[in-house]
Amino acid sequence: MTRTVWDSSVGKKTVMAVSGLIMLMYLVVHMFGNLKIFFGSGDFNHYAHWLRTLGEPFLHYEWALWIIRVVLVVAVVAHATAAYQLSRRDIRARPSKYVHKKPRSSYATRTMRWGGIILGLFIVWHILDLTTGTAHPGGFQAGHPYQNVIDTFSTWYGDVIYIVAMLALGLHIRHGFWSAAQTLGAGSRTRDRALKTIADVLALVLTLGFISVPVGVMTGLVS
């Protein structure tokens, strides 16, 4: 039964929708956590430490954080796999170019695939930079996330990579949220305008929220 659902296009779109909403919920929380950097190193570092003690004493140190990481990895892999397979299926179904051009789609729609690739590469860089410290500029300091963030956004390439990825994220959310709503049956003629407005607001708020951190470092507001 599970295999039958997965093999169908509807099943893959449902997996994309559900996994996308899981990642969206995480992004909202993550953005609010990032904004704590504007309250100083004490608040930001304390928040990072709290994430590792979340659920204690029921859960051991960092267990809750690892549960969140595992859920996110599963969501990302499922989302990317379903997207790739749907894309390949679409190409096989229409091997030749259309005789007549398709109606002009939105910029976000036409760049969803490239946006997904950009975000996938960004996630790898982001983990290597601020989680493992492997690609971190200067000396990575475990337990000092505030200083690590300052170090990253004190480099021009760190700012460029992050801002480009967040712009791609905004476009991805703008189209993806509305598509997920349609897939899960939430869309209708009366609700489409409201859903598109929510998608636009979410995309704008998350993009500006995330980009405000490197901008804050670049302008000296965060130092």
Please give the share of the chain, as a percent, with pLDDT higher than 90: 66
For helices 192-218 and 156-183, angle between their N-to-C axes, nearest 10 degrees: 170
Q: What is the pLDDT of residues 35-77, one digit of tens each?
A: 999 999 999 999 999 999 999 999 999 999 999 999 999 999 9
Closest CA to 133 of 146, 123, 148: 148
Confidence of residue 95 (pLDDT cuts 50, 70, 90): low
Q: Which residues contact 192 (CB under 8 A, 6 or more apart)?
A: 178
The C-alpha angle 182, 186, 191, rounded to 5 degrees, equals 95
pLDDT of residue 96: 56
CA distance 5 to 15: 10
Greater confidence, 9 or 119? 119
Phi, psi of 110 (to 5 degrees): -75, -15
CA distance 31 to 11: 30
Kindly tell me if the per-residue pLDDT of 102 is higher than 70: no
Of 5-19, 51-65, 90-104, 168-182, give the lowest mean pLDDT range: 90-104
